[in-house]
Chain A
Amino acid sequence: MLKVKEPGFYTTVQDSGRKGYRHLGVPVAGACDRIAAGRVNSLLENDPGAALLEMTMQGPVLVFTEPTYIALSGADMEVTLNGDALAMEQVHRVAAGSELRCSRTLHGFRTYLGIKGGFRTEEVLGSRSYYPPVTKQRKLIPLMELPYEPTTDFEPKLLKLSPSEFWKEEKLEAYPGPEYDLLNQKQREMLYATRFTLGKEHDRMACQLQEHLPGHLIRMITSATLPGTVQLTPAGRLIILLRDGQTTGGYPRVLQLSDRAVSVLAQKHTADHVRFVSTPF
């Protein structure tokens, strides 16, 4: 078991998401930064969909009751295991009874902690990703216990990955969305020319940008949305849907981010900057 002593600011269990229930309004969820989550599971030679912890802004304090191996990727965090500093992007052996303490994130927004074999928490609709009310849990809380299979004989093929700094990028690859053609010339130019600032409204569902575009009177019938869909409200606000984003919406979908760009965006803080970069199909 992994025992939660302090849960951190917003720590959740995530895997590669809940597939096949979009048509019932269930968001896909899953690790916000799929690249970092993928690095952790690769290092541990886990299934790519193995469940791990997504730690936002302030990491938790955790106790491992069984021996295992762990790895960290994503936002830089100062992490200690029984008082010794742990490097990111590297496999570490963990003895039974060890205590892991995490700091605030130093750069970036979300850090991933993977464990050999993945967490074996309850699966709901084919996924372990927290998303209330589909799952009872919203985030880690004190005294919670997360099951995992003990491992003592893992010999990693790769001990360490070179650090990844993709999350520092400001550029987000963006394709024209289904309603892009309804924008006027000025709105299109501003979309690609503006250096946008992330607003305060920023969670796993969506993030809003501070700079506005000119408003519009485009009316559309509600239609499907995806993680990475950039919506433009009538007042000119840009809202980017993330992994827990709603499955349908009524605002014009002006851009669609690549999956990689959603991962880059997942590492941004309020007041960080992003630019949309036109990507041809």
Chain B
Amino acid sequence: MKVPPFQVKAFGPEAVLLEWPAAVREDILTEILGFRDYLIGDCLEGTTWELVAIYNSLMLYKGKPIDMEPFERQLREWFDSYPGPATLSFQEWELPVCYEGEFAPDLGEVAARLGTTAEEVVRRHCGTSYRVYGIGFLPGFLYLGGVPENLEVPRKETPRLKVAKGSVGLASQQTGIYPQESPGGWNVIGKCPIPLFDPVRKPPCFISLGDKVRFQAVSEAEFNLHRIEAEVGVYDFKKKYGHAKG
């Protein structure tokens, strides 16, 4: 029998937490997502289960008491028969961001801290693709991994009480888009006109866990055009197809 790479912990009486080694790694995420899909598709019975995968963990919430010992044994058996994540496929999304004027109140300060120009910060931010390691905190908030070292700046000392919906934030090894207006301590360096979460759209969040995101710098005029296109539902998402092993 395979030795599972995860620890099983009870998370209250109605949920179980599986924890892989504490690291932010694409291979771990891929294995978790594959196992999650296998559990949903081939193992778990009943309709109340909800599974939340993020970074190195997978929570299985039953909504009813779980008999822990037999369930843990069962999980190990399921992992033994899990064929691996080979068939998973991910997409890469290109999201427009305007890094100009009032959309980017902290861009100058970020550039100064990094000892470079605003243009260079934008070039670095757009120059890489970011893996979606989790969706949570707020509806449609993406936990993005892969911020280059030459973009690492600390959080703002004083958080803002209001950060506008769509704001693109940067703080230490994290970058992300505020899916709704909220308080926040990240440096705001741009704004994305495409809503990441829309409850009437199916699915409400078009980006999936494991996908990749790349930012594309756009002008204010393009920003306004894309915002209207997204509102009326004709925005053409530029996506490239990727693969788990790709």
The residues of A with any CB-CB pair to B shorter than 8 Å are 19-26, 124-125, 133-135, 175, 177-178, 220-224, 226, 228, 246-249, 253, 256-259, 281
Interface with A: B84-92, B203-211, B231-239, which one? B203-211
In the complex where A20-B50, A175-B13 touch, is A224 in contact with B139 (Cβ < 8 A)? no
Residue contact B136 to A228, C-beta cutoff 8 Å:
no
Residue contact A221 to B55, C-beta cutoff 8 Å:
yes
In the complex where A223-B59, A224-B54 touch, is A258 in contact with B136 (Cβ < 8 A)? no
List 30 A-B residue pairs with CB atoms under 8 Å apart, sorted by A's residue number. Answer: A22-B50, A22-B52, A23-B50, A23-B51, A23-B52, A24-B135, A25-B135, A25-B137, A25-B140, A25-B197, A125-B199, A133-B180, A133-B199, A221-B23, A222-B54, A222-B134, A222-B143, A223-B17, A223-B19, A224-B11, A224-B52, A224-B54, A224-B61, A246-B136, A247-B136, A247-B137, A248-B54, A256-B11, A256-B12, A259-B14
Report Cα–Cα, A113/B135, bound state, in Å: 35
Residue contact A25 to B199, C-beta cutoff 8 Å:
no
Contacts of B221 in A (CB 8 A): none
Least CB distance from A26 to B in Å reads 5
Residue contact A224 to B59, C-beta cutoff 8 Å:
yes
Partner of A177, one of B11, B138, B197, B199: B11
Contacts of A178 in B (CB 8 A): 9, 11, 17, 19
Contacts of A249 in B (CB 8 A): 137
Report Cα–Cα, A126/B95, bound state, in Å: 29
Q: Of all chain B residues, which has the CB nearest A131?
A: B139
The binding surface of chain A is classed by DSSP as loop
Least CB distance from A205 to B in Å reads 10
Q: Of all chain A residues, which has the CB nearest B195?
A: A133
Which B residues, 95 to 151, have Cβ-Cβ distances below 8 Å to chain A? 134-141, 143
Least CB distance from B230 to A in Å reads 15
Total A-B residue contacts, Cβ distance less than 8 Å? 109
Least CB distance from A63 to B in Å reads 30
Partner of B50, one of A19, A228, A259: A19
Report Cα–Cα, A22/B139, bound state, in Å: 9
Q: Of all chain B residues, which has the CB nearest A259?
A: B14
Which B residues, 2 to 57, have Cβ-Cβ distances below 8 Å to chain A? 9-15, 17, 19, 22-24, 48, 50-57
Residue contact A221 to B51, C-beta cutoff 8 Å:
no
Contacts of A253 in B (CB 8 A): 11
Partner of B12, one of A222, A223, A228: A228
Contacts of B17 in A (CB 8 A): 178, 223-224
Q: Of all chain A residues, which has the CB nearest B52?
A: A224
**B68 interface residue per 8 A CB criterion:** yes
Least CB distance from A245 to B in Å reads 10
Residue contact B13 to A258, C-beta cutoff 8 Å:
yes
Contacts of A257 in B (CB 8 A): 12
Residue contact A23 to B209, C-beta cutoff 8 Å:
yes
In the complex where A256-B12, A258-B13 touch, is A224 in contact with B204 (Cβ < 8 A)? no
Least CB distance from B232 to A in Å reads 19
Report Cα–Cα, A206/B56, bound state, in Å: 25
Contacts of A248 in B (CB 8 A): 52, 54, 134, 136-137, 143
Contacts of B141 in A (CB 8 A): 25
Report Cα–Cα, A248/B17, bound state, in Å: 13
